Amino acid sequence: MARFPKPPEGSWTQHYPDLGTGPVSYDDSISPDFYELERAAIFKRAWLNVGRAEQLPRNGSYFTKDLKVANTSIVVVRNTQGEIKAFHNICRHRGNKLVWNDMPLEETNGFCKQFRCKYHAWRYDLDGHLTHVPQEGEFFDLDKNRYGLVPVHCELWEGFIFVNFAAEPAQSLRDFLGPMVLGLEGYPFGQMTSRWCYRSEVKANWKLYLDAFQEFYHAPVLHANQSPTKYSKAAAEAGFEAPHYRIDGPHRLVSTSGVRTWEMDADMRKPIDEICRSGLFGPWDSPDLGPLPAGVNPANCDPWGLDSFQLFPNFVILIWGQGWYLTYHYWPTSYHSHVFEGTLYFPAPRTPRERIAQELAAVTFKEFGLQDANTLEATQTMIESRAVDGFVLNDQEVLLRHLHHETAEWVDEYRRATVGD
């Protein structure tokens, strides 16, 4: 028997009166001027996740990350003491991109004992110190101690690597994350070393894709073809509503009940799911992860489906009840385009069957993501027409209200501070 928590009295939206209940403007998703303000007010001031510690398995491991929204490329490296540091990926001599392989506009990763510029062979150690300048005597009063790599603020939390481009961040990473997100501490993220990644440019504002994964109102309709007809018809008629929403500072959470696919009638299961014992919710045979932290499944759903933690501005940690997790990143490239990255993490498979089950979950996720992305490009096209200037949202779309409200708050605060200066 499924067990669902009793929702609080009144609607979800009414618990956050500052958000209002009226139509929401999407001018923040179609204005080039507003996008430029977002870049300065948000993406150059907030903590941004750029990867996982497992991407740097040993001292000397590095990867680069190109961040058009911040007008820079960074290199993230594990130094000789095992510490993870980040630097702007620029040589101090003539401004060449320091770390790249065959194609300078592509991201890369690898291992090295030092960084060497391809242009004039200036060299830097893994702590960013300038260590060698060819023909050093020809320079005028060159003090190598003054010309190391430009550092970027870098902090780790639960193996996630965050950077901040502010001269001095307004908050530490932990203070920025706040109690709701910190409630995930102790989840075995580091055990999930089987990794699948998808990356695509979407011709829509970054917030529109975030909106798509902050509500499940669309799921029975948009994704109907991904389910057996008997199940999808019933779901479309009944609709779906998540049992728990929460807002904490700039961050949001939606937690949902689940479906034990293997307990459904045979004619309601897809044949490939049956064969591989897997599907959208992940492999049917879930691993033993031990006790989970208190922040997981806050609604006490049984069965539990997933928790989607939306970390402002552009990072999502989605924890599945079947013992795996995935992350989303939305990297703006213009006011009407962004790069979407979806990464799935599973425990290392012990058998070929476990590997196949993970692969099916990965390709199933891709199909759902493609459906969402295709819809968003249609949305972007029409909101740019400005034929409608306000859009009505229902109660279970409360997190959408919050994202656009929070974005406006950061921009307004930046405007006030800039005028004050």
Helix residue ranges per DSSP H, 8-117: 32-38
- At residue 30, the pLDDT reads 97
Mean pLDDT of 231-251: 74
- At residue 381, the pLDDT reads 95
- At residue 242, the pLDDT reads 82
Q: Is 178 left (phi over 0), alpha (psi -120 to 50) or beta?
A: left
pLDDT over 50 at 3, yes or no: no
Residue identified by tokens 């997981």 is 296
- For a pLDDT cut of 90, what percent of the chain falls above it? 76
- At residue 5, the pLDDT reads 43
Task: Name every residue whose Cβ is closer than 8 Å to that of residue 159 and which is 6 or more positions away in sequence.
Answer: 52, 53, 54, 189, 190
**Tens-place pLDDT, residues 95-152:** 999 999 989 999 999 999 999 999 999 999 999 999 999 999 999 999 999 999 999 9
- The CB density around residue 121, as the number of other CB atoms within 10 Å, is 13
pLDDT over 80 at 266, yes or no: no
pLDDT over 60 at 238, yes or no: no
User: Which of the residue ranges 19-33, 224-238, 296-310 would you say has the lowest mean pLDDT?
Assistant: 224-238
Strands ordered across the beta sheet of 115-116: 115-116, 123-124, 130-132
Residue 392: both structure tokens together: 């009505």
Asked if 178 and 47 count as a contact pair (C-beta separation under 8 A), the reply is no
Mean pLDDT of 62-90: 98
- Residue 363 CA to residue 365 CA, distance in Å, equals 5
- Residue type at 244 in one-letter notation: H
pTM of the prediction? 0.93
Give the Å distances, CA to CA, from 122 to 99, 107, 131, 146: 12, 21, 8, 14
Mean pLDDT of 53-71: 97
